[in-house]
Amino acid sequence: MTAESDMLKARSQLLMDQPFFGTLALRLKLVQDDDNCATAQTDGKRLTYNSKFIEKLTSAERKGLIAHEVMHCVWNHMTRRNNRDHKKWNIAGDYAINPHLIECGFILPAGGLIDKAYYDMSVDSIYNKLPDGPDGPGGGRPCPWGIVLDSGSGDIKADSDAAVESEWQVAVTQAAEVAKQAGKMPGNLSKFIQDIVKPVVDWRTVLWPFCSSHAKDDYSWRKPNRAYISEDEYLPSMINETVGHIAFIVDTSGSCHEYWKQFLGEARSIHADLRPEQLTVIHCDTKVQVVHEVMPEDEFPENVIKGGGGTSFSPPFDYLNEHHPDVAAAVYLTDLEGHVGHEPDYPVLWMCTTNIQAPWGQTCRIQLNS
């Protein structure tokens, strides 16, 4: 048999045995390319393979390989790398994917990366924890089989990353339904799939109402409300309709860098249009890096962002408790990768770029333009 027929047979077997993976595998065009592909790789449109590598694998290993490439697409690894090192990103992706495939009963080709230290961690968190050594990013680990390329890396016309992710989200929903009807939906993946297909929202539809809901309700009997004087009613007038003191906290750890400027741009709009009594903008990774205190009459500061390290959520709340105990509410843009800590006395809106739910406050999973 040829490598092409081996791959087609493996995909057909996958469709029967594991319809969730098999249904999604049908989305990937099988392409043999011995000149440019050493093992196998995907860009979200194609599954490209090396015939000599495929011929060395068993039938079960081919199924595991295809499922591996499918999972790179399910978790959008082809659209989320941004400026991060390609080799290290692939290593992190494999550590995130492979344990789930093993739990589903797949047999992977030799050399598959598995480490209990990275179980149940996102690719972003694993990437940040992977050591760098003298042999380059990832500590010199060999680049694994089953590579994920950036979306649009080949000669197929590239869609926008948002379009690619949306297409895969719909496909995952459909594949999960097919698997459920067949009674073959892997139990260990159910929660992850639910998170993946959970609706995302435009953050402005949540952010603006949250901020404006914290307007101060100060009334005075010295300024009667003229609308009711003619009706012999003497009601107080609001003397301060401004939004109270709002804190905007930006997670400037390395995993959130792609969203920094967008979030600060929206903070600028909140300052200009809602005119809060005070706006405290905090940049924080493992510690508070920058604090801007912006009053209604002030110009919004330039978007000079500092950070890029790990994540700790306590420092900005500690800062607010010490310097601004009267803050009305806080908005925190983050991927929620890390220990959240204790809940403060004021409302907190977590604008989260991942599927993680904060243990307290209001969590909103958001879709931003990357």
Angle between helices 190-197 and 161-181 (to 10 degrees): 140
Instruction: Give the C-alpha distances (Å, rounded to integers) separating 331 from 233, 256, 270, 276, 323.
Output: 40, 15, 12, 13, 17
**Number of structural domains, the chain?**
2
- Which amino acid does the sequence have at 144? P
Strand 329-334, strand 245-251: pairing? parallel
- β-strand partners of 201: 366
114, part of any domain: yes
Tell me: do 168 and 211 sit in the same domain. Answer: no
Render pLDDT for 50-98 as a digit per residue (tens, 0 to 9): 999 999 999 999 999 999 999 999 988 998 887 788 889 999 999 999 9
- Of 197, 220, 243, the last residue of a domain is 197
- pLDDT digit string (tens) for the chain, length 370 residues: 799 999 999 999 999 999 999 999 999 999 999 999 999 999 999 999 999 999 999 999 999 999 999 999 998 899 888 778 888 999 999 999 999 999 999 999 998 999 888 887 888 888 888 887 666 666 667 667 878 888 766 555 456 777 787 788 888 888 988 888 888 888 767 766 766 655 555 666 777 778 777 655 444 444 444 444 444 444 444 444 567 899 999 888 866 666 777 777 778 887 887 788 899 999 988 899 999 999 988 888 876 666 667 788 999 999 999 999 989 999 998 888 888 888 999 999 998 877 788 888 988 877 655 4
- Of 146, 168, 197, the last residue of a domain is 197
How many angstroms separate the CA atoms of 154 and 338, rounded? 36
Quote the pTM value. Answer: 0.60
Tell me: do 134 and 15 sit in the same domain. Answer: yes
Q: Tell the burial category of 218 from Cβ atoms under 10 Å away from its Cβ (0-12, 13-18, 19+).
A: exposed
Tell me: do 189 and 268 sit in the same domain. Answer: no
Q: Which residues of 86-96 are buried (b: 16+ CB within 10 A; e: fewer)?
A: ebbbbbbbbbb
- Which amino acid does the sequence have at 218? D
Containing domain of residue 178, as a range? 3-197
Render pLDDT for 118-147 as a digit per residue (tens, 0 to 9): 887 888 888 888 887 666 666 667 667 878
How many angstroms separate the CA atoms of 311 and 127, rounded? 13
Tell me: do 188 and 227 sit in the same domain. Answer: no
How many angstroms separate the CA atoms of 144 and 147, rounded? 7
Asked if residue 343 lies in contact with residue 370, where contact means CB atoms within 8 angstroms, the answer is no
> The CATH number of the domain where 278 resides is what?
3.40.50
Instruction: Give the C-alpha distances (Å, rounded to integers) separating 359 from 339, 342, 366.
Output: 10, 9, 17
- Of 156, 171, 197, the last residue of a domain is 197
41, part of any domain: yes
370, part of any domain: no
